[in-house]
Amino acid sequence: MYTALILFILAGSIICLGGIYYKRSIVLGILVPGAMLLIIIAFLSTAVLPYMEKIPATDKGVPYSERALLGRQIYVREGCWYCHTQQVRPIRTDAGLGNVSQPGDYQYDYPHVLGTERTGPDLSHLGGKYEDDWHRNHLMNPRPKTPEEEGMAGKVKGSVMPPFSYLSREETEALVTYLQSLR
């Protein structure tokens, strides 16, 4: 794999130098495919090579139940993943959030919901942390769970999570099942 990587980098360098030294439009026919080749080379190295790696199975990477899958779709649809991550990194910042995420954990996650922002807490190991009812109420309106508090300079507000009161009963139930299945 590393040989392939090095060969790819060499090929890229040659195209790159060609591009720098020839600047007349005559060579367009050669250089435009060359530019295309550059992106394909990098694609092969950074997207296809990793795909060849075997992913060891883990306890977390198990299929979801029918209802949890439905809940997962709602999770994706409502954009919960813009505010919540589902990845625990092996660094001090994430210490105490639960087991570090392994590639195998995501075997049945498609589309992935790793997330890019922690406006809300990480949900990788949420299952079992609260009762189902807690989730129902929290989704209906997150504010009562985190009421305003008296701070040093007056009242301090709580959660910024949006209310999901518009979800139908089944949708909420499915979502809660999904949340509880995250172990």
- Using an 8 Å Cβ cutoff, are 124 and 87 in contact? yes
68 binds ligand HEC per the rule CB under 6 A:
no
Residue 117 near ligand HEM by CB under 6 A: yes
Query: Per CB under 6 A, does 109 bind ligand HEM?
Result: no
β partners of residue 150? 155
Residues 6+ apart with CB under 8 A from 133: none
CB neighbours of 151 closer than 8 A, spacing ≥ 6? none
Assess contact for 179 and 123: CB atoms under 8 A: yes
Toward ligand HEC, which CB reaches closer, 15 or 174? 174
Please identify the residue of the shown chain whose CB is closest to the bound ligand HEM: 116
Which backbone phi and psi does 155 adopt, to 5 degrees?
-70, 140
For residue 95, the partner it binds in ligand HEM, another protein, ligand HEC, none, with Cβ less than 5 to 8 A by kind, is another protein
Member of 12, 103, 127, 142 binding ligand HEC (CB under 6 A): 142
Q: Does 142 bind another protein (CB under 8 A)?
A: yes
Candidate list 102, 120, 136, 141; residue touching ligand HEC; CB under 6 A: 120
